[in-house]
Amino acid sequence: MQNRSVATQPFDDQKPGTSGLRKKTKVFQQPNYLENFVQAIFDSLEDITGQTLVLGGDGRYFNRSAIQTIIKMAAANGFGKVIIGQGGLLSTPAASHIIRKNQAYGGLVLSASHNPGGPDEDFGIKYNVSNGGPAPEKYTDAFYQRSQTISEYRIADLPDVDLDTLGEQGDDNFSMEIIDPVSDYAELMQELFDFPLIRDAIASGAITLRFDAMHAITGPYAKRIFEDMLAAAPGSVINATPLEDFGGGHPDPNLAHAKELADTMFGPDAPTFGAASDGDGDRNMILGRNFFVTPSDSLAVLAANARLIPAFKDGLPGVARSMPTSQAVDRVAQEYGIPCYETPTGWKYFGNLLDAKKIALCGEESFGTGADHVREKDGLWAVLFWLNLLAVKGESVSRIVHDHWRKFGRDIYSRHDYEAVAIDIANGIFDHLREQLPTLPGQTLAGNRVKYADEFSYQDPIDGSVSRYQGIRIGFENGSRIVFRLSGTGTVGATLRIYLERYETDTGKHDQDAQQALASLIELAEQLCEVKKRTGMSAPTVIT
């Protein structure tokens, strides 16, 4: 094996967002673009000689080609072994588990998560550290700084690797192990949940299910776990074959993009339970018959019922949510006397809390839920949690959620996204909001008295690091909130996200349509940020 150095020049746009570096696929296909960023990562890491790297992705366009390049660069930079999912496939939570199980140095996950895939769509790459979680900011800052000074990358003259044949290849200096991407993960799920109980509930007909893999990474996982191991009827998993362009669809598990599943669950003869996951398998959507569970409510329901699940039979030490996520889980934590932490958006912020055993359950409003079994959000894990809960309770999804609302009240919640907003306009909106913050507390707006108005910053209780500029919050004395945040997951312009929440204890109002119940807050939010005036958009791009 011969290594060589290739001269290169920096690209000025390689600053990672909340989940790594995401760009249009054609950007990554530019000469040296992928290589520069991977080299910047390797240059920023210490003592990698002889270490093990985990590598895989969600199967989107350019996945296999990028993996071949990264294998050769890993060899040239001194790694001793690379563990790769068969066919180049690994769900993000499975990658996290494999890093942890093998005590690997870290891993590279190739995905743009819920973004579309294909030659004209999106690609992404992120580095996960030795605990299996996304690289914290001190790492991603270092990657970016190195990317701005890079002058060469190192690559080995190796033939392309057979990604489809299981087993180990290579020699004592550098080896590559191709593993079944599903087996280790499926084994872990059996340890966490009561598979015999779920299987019996499915066999009796008490649970009928439909899972939409959206032609993304979770298809093989769902087929193995739901249809093979839990004996759900053949065809319970739909769109199960991972495709490079996700079948032309948008692998984002919400009511708009998972329309086939939604139509089934709100149609005649619907199954009792429906779910979907996203491009890389870390997000989830939960549905009952004619009923949609918001991600914020899902987190709260799981927290309230955790002791019914084998993995949490001794209870939870604490829970955490991202700042824009509704306060529903806070009310559960208060009832059971456990801490609830509020973090910025981005799964990496949960890592220190999980490692320190301050929490064992966490979630985000953007369809992400997870626990201490890995250091990523985990879509199939959340689906199995719900299946286990349904099997224990013998009740419908709707009944479980309504019982929860009766006990804790309902946080009526919605998110309005304005996508592809020009960066200068997005920044202007936030400057306008910041100017108003000092004047808002004490005012009565849309019938609600403002309790606080601030820009959220977070000091990590474990390592003391501070993350600023994490979103603008306006909180009212009656528990309602409006939150404004710019998302870092898109590849074109900026996405302005407006989060709206109203707390309702009257059980007679628990079945209100969220948009109607939040109408006055929606109007107020639009007035405060002037989004329609400044962007020329007449309505949000997506409402969830």
The shares of helix, strand and coil residues in the chain, as percent rounded to the nearest 5, are: 35, 25, 40
> Which residue do the tokens 């000091």 mark?
459
Question: What letter would DSSP give residue 134?
Answer: B
Q: Are 29 and 35 in contact (CB under 8 A)?
A: no
Closest CA to 132 of 490, 384, 371: 371
pLDDT given for residue 492 in this prediction: 66
**Strand 81-89 and strand 52-57: pairing?**
parallel
Q: Retrieve residue 229's tokens.
A: 């191991």
- SS3 of 490, please? coil
Q: What is the secondary structure of 201-252 as a DSSP string?
A: HHHTTS--EEEE-TTSTHHHHHIIIIIIIS-PPTTSEES-S--TTGGGS---
Task: Answer yes or no: 113 catalytic.
Answer: yes
Domains 3-181 and 185-408 share a fold: yes
Q: Are 526 and 539 in contact (CB under 8 A)?
A: no
CATH class of 410-543: alpha beta
Phi, psi (degrees; rounded to nearest 5) at 282: -100, -5
All residues at 6 or more sequence positions from 336 whose CB lies less than 8 Å from its CB, including other chains? 304, 315, 316
Q: What is the secondary structure of 182-196 as a DSSP string?
A: THHHHHHHHHHS-HH
**Rg from Cα positions in the chain:** 23
pLDDT given for residue 483 in this prediction: 98
> Which residue do the tokens 């390797």 mark?
42
For domain 3-181, is the CATH number 3.40.120.10?
A: yes
Q: Retrieve residue 290's tokens.
A: 């004619």
Closest CA to 352 of 136, 539, 98: 136
- SS3 of 518, please? coil
Q: Are 305 and 327 in contact (CB under 8 A)?
A: no
CATH class of 185-408: alpha beta
pLDDT given for residue 219 in this prediction: 97
Residue extents of the structural domains in the chain: 3-181, 185-408, 410-543
Closest CA to 496 of 507, 505, 483: 483
pLDDT per residue as tens, the chain (544 positions)? 799 999 999 999 999 987 899 999 999 999 999 999 999 999 999 999 999 999 999 999 999 999 999 999 999 999 999 999 999 999 999 999 999 999 999 999 999 999 999 999 999 999 999 999 999 989 999 999 999 999 999 999 999 999 999 999 998 899 999 999 999 999 999 999 999 999 999 999 999 999 999 999 999 999 999 999 999 999 999 999 999 999 999 999 998 899 999 999 999 999 999 999 999 999 999 999 999 999 999 999 999 999 999 999 999 999 999 999 999 999 999 999 999 999 999 898 999 999 999 999 999 999 999 999 999 999 999 999 999 999 999 999 999 999 999 999 999 999 999 999 999 999 999 999 999 999 999 999 999 999 999 999 999 999 999 999 999 999 999 999 999 999 855 556 789 999 999 999 999 999 999 999 999 999 999 999 999 999 999 999 989 8
pTM of structure: 0.95
- SS3 of 524, please? helix
Check 19, 44, 111, 113 and give the catalytic one: 113
